[in-house]
Structure 1
C-alpha cells in the first residue's frame, strides 16, 4: 500500500496539466483591478483637464470685458458647464470674483458670482497667494470645482477636482459689474 501511495505521489508531482489555469486564476483578479484602475485614472485626468480649461476660459471671458452685465455673467457661467461636457454639469461649480488691492495693501472682493456654490461676500477679505495682486490693481479670480463620481467607486472612490485661475483685466484696471 505504501508503495502504491509513493507511485501516485510521484506521478502527481510530475503532472503539469492545469498549471496555466491555476496561474491565470491567481493573476486575473490583479490584472482586472489594474485595468479598472487605469481606466479610472484616465477618466479622472480627462475631467481634470476639462476643469482646468473651464477655469482658464471663464477667467479669460471676464478679463476681456470692462463691464459685465447680469446676462453676460449667466452666459459665462453656462459656458463653463458647456466646457465640462460630456461630463455631468450638475457636478460642476464655478465662482468668479473680482478682487482688488487698494494703495494701502488692503484686499477686498469687489463683486462675486457663482454657479453650484456660494458667491463671495462683497467687501470680504480673501487670502490670495503672494504676488498675485499689487497695490492699486485688481484681478479676476475663478474657482472651478467638479464632484467626480467614479464609475468604479470600489477602485478609487469619489473625489473633488478643483482649480483656481487668476487673470488681470485687459481693458481697464477693474472689471465692473453692472
Structure 2
C-alpha cells in the first residue's frame, strides 16, 4: 500500500514539475503570438487593399463624369450619335477598370431668368431618355446661373469587392455603387441644342 502511495505521489510530483516546466518555457510563445496576430494582419492587409482599390475607382468615376460634361459643354449643338459616343469616352477614362452594369445620364438644362432649370434634352447609356424634355430640374444651391445652359453628367459604376468573402456573401453585400454628378456651364454660346433628341 505504501508503495502504491509513493508511486502516485511520484507521478503527481512529475506532473507538477512538467507543468512548471511548460509554464516557464518561453520557446513556443512566438508561435502562439503569431497564430493570434497573423489573421489580424492578413485582414488589415486585405482591408487596405480593398480601400485603396475603391478610392482609385472612385477617382476614375469622378474623372469620367467630369470629362463627359466638359466635352459636351464645349459644343454648340449635339446629336444622339455624339451623346451615345460619350459612353465610349467614359469607358476610356475608366480604363483599366471595366464598366459593367453602369449608368450614364447626360442632361442639357436651360436655366431661366428666375433660376429655374428646365430639361432641354437628356440621354442615357442605352440611348433612352431618362428625363422628359420640359420637366423642371432642381439645381444645387451653389449654381447661381441665370439665363444659362448647364450640362449635367451622372455616372454610377457598381464596384464589386474582390476579396470580401468570395462565394460566401450575397451580391448585395459585395457590391458598392460609386457615383458622381457634375454640373458644367456651357462655354460657347447661349444654348446647346440637340438636333435629333426626342
- TM-score where L is the length of structure 2: 0.83
User: Is contact 2:116-2:137 (8 Å) kept?
Assistant: no
> 1:56 is matched with which residue: 41, 51, 66?
66
Q: Which runs of 5+ in 2 are unaligned?
A: 1-8, 167-172
Q: Where does the alignment leave 5 or more consecutive residues of structure 1 unmatched?
A: none
Aligned-residue offset at 1:135 = 2.4
Contact 1:50 1:84 in 2 (8 A): yes
Does residue 46 of structure 2 align to residue 36 of structure 1?
A: yes
Aligned partner (choices 162, 171, 178) of residue 151 of structure 1: 162
**In 2, distance between residues paired with 1:77 and 1:68?**
15
CA distance in 2, matches of 1:158, 1:43: 13
Q: Which moved more, 1:99-108 or 1:163-172?
A: 99-108
Q: SS where residue 144 of structure 1 aligns?
A: strand
SS in 2 for 1:89: coil
Q: Max radius of gyration: which structure? A: 2
Aligned to 2:192: 175
- Change in 2 beyond 3 A, CA 1:82/1:92: farther
- Structure-1 separation of matches of 2:92 and 2:136: 31
Q: Which residue does the alignment assign to 2:5? A: none
| Mapping 1:28-177, distance limit 5 Å | 28-115=38-125, 119-154=130-165, 157-177=174-194
Which region of structure 1 is more displaced relative to structure 2, 93-102 or 131-140? Answer: 131-140
User: How many residues end up aligned between the 2 structures?
Assistant: 178
Distance 2:20 2:42 in 1: 36
Give the CA RMSD over aligned residues. Answer: 1.9
- Asked whether the equivalents of residues 82 and 89 of structure 1 are also in contact (C-alpha less than 8 Å), the reply is no
Distance 1:133 1:54 in 2: 24
Give the direction of change, closer, same or farther, for the CA distance of 1:118–1:25 in structure 2 (3 Å limit): farther
- Equivalent in the alignment of 1:13: 23
